[in-house]
Amino acid sequence: MRYIFIMLTGSFLSLFSAAIEPIPQKIDYDKSKAALGKKLFYEARLSKDGTVACVNCHQLPGSGADVVAFSFGVNGAVGTINSPTVLNSGFNFVQFWNGRAEDLKAQAYGPISNPIEMANSMEAVVRMLKDDETYAQTFKSLYKEGVTPENIVDAIAEFERALITPNAPFDRYLRGEKGALDAQELKGYELFQSFGCITCHNGVNIGGNMYQKVGVFLPYEDKTRNLGRYDVTKNEKDKYYFKVPSLRNIALTAPYMHDAKAVTLEDAVFEMFEHQVGDAYTQVEMDAIVAFLKTLTGEEPAVLKEP
């Protein structure tokens, strides 16, 4: 097998058409478990002092992320990285910026025991839930083993999986609704492709399916000490490689970048041009791209409307 597989024929651009797929309008999930997960998601008692719930940093209804650069944990502890949105997180190929959790369940363990987040222990959480008659009964009715760490994260993950935002204007466009995007937004989509943004931000989540080095073109000045994937693999070549974030609902999830350096969407696009794309652009082009990005905001997840 050789590098030959990248041999291409035909037009380069014409091939990009299937690079982004719309979010499915609904996915199958266990509603009872999701309901339990939802309750847990809002449960502050998961944290050590009973002040921090998942929803504190992943605001729902809303962006699924935090408006602040770094979220606050128990006792006012401050995080070291910008909270990624929980919306559509089920489509991500790994979780966390550095991909240290391979799926949502694995991710859910993290914040509970993270000293600057909930600062709790899974044992304590299990105890707390077992002592709560309602929780204990609900768990018993859904899981043979009742309250266990595995079942807790399973319920939360089931809820999070359901947090999809379908029917964004762009998705409607992709589904054939030509009027869903205006000229500028369409121009923005074209530029998104021709500038090469799409080489990293593709797939159903428009990102979230690969790692990429922040500062491929121009080295990125990190305000935090995060080294990305390297923190997981301790592999020199993985330094500054972060999970490419999803651009879904990007208009809602400011601030941007793992270190929250970009406050506005334009800031973020600028950072991308500077460090990743490595090309010059005009204001018109910038405006078009920003306009395009704003068409990526979808509907509020159905699961949130459920009781």
Instruction: Write the CA distances from 71 to 151, 204, 244, 259, integer angstroms.
Output: 26, 27, 20, 12
Active site residue 117: yes
Catalytic, out of 21, 43, 102, 117:
117
Instruction: Based on the shown chain and the rule CB under 8 A, indicate whether residue 236 belongs to the binding site for other proteins.
Output: no
Q: Using CB atoms within 10 Å of the CB of residue 270, give its burial: 0 to 12 exposed, 13 to 18 middle, 19+ buried.
A: middle
Instruction: Based on the shown chain and the rule CB under 8 A, indicate whether residue 230 belongs to the binding site for other proteins.
Output: no
Point out which span in 1-9, 68-76, 118-126, 146-154 binds other proteins (CB under 8 A). Answer: 1-9
Instruction: Based on the shown chain and the rule CB under 8 A, indicate whether residue 222 belongs to the binding site for other proteins.
Output: no
Closer CB to other proteins, residue 190 or residue 266? 190
Instruction: Based on the shown chain and the rule CB under 8 A, indicate whether residue 239 belongs to the binding site for other proteins.
Output: no
Instruction: Write the CA distances from 255 to 21, 45, 84, 165, 222, integer angstroms.
Output: 25, 28, 10, 20, 15
Residues 6+ apart with CB under 8 A from 56: 44, 66, 71, 72
Cα–Cα distance, 247 to 253 (Å, whole number): 9
Instruction: Based on the shown chain and the rule CB under 8 A, indicate whether residue 204 belongs to the binding site for other proteins.
Output: yes
Q: Name the helix (H) or strand (E) containing 269.
A: helix 265-272
- # of chain residues touching other proteins (CB under 8 A): 44
Tokens of 236: 């020199």
User: Is residue 213 classed as helix, strand or coil in its secondary structure?
Assistant: strand
Instruction: Based on the shown chain and the rule CB under 8 A, indicate whether residue 270 belongs to the binding site for other proteins.
Output: no
Instruction: Based on the shown chain and the rule CB under 8 A, indicate whether residue 6 belongs to the binding site for other proteins.
Output: yes
Closer CB to other proteins, residue 85 or residue 276? 276
Residues engaged in binding other proteins (CB under 8 A): 1-9, 12, 15-16, 18-21, 93, 194-196, 198-200, 202-204, 209-213, 216-219, 233, 237, 241, 274, 276-280
Would you name the residues annotated as active-site residues? 117
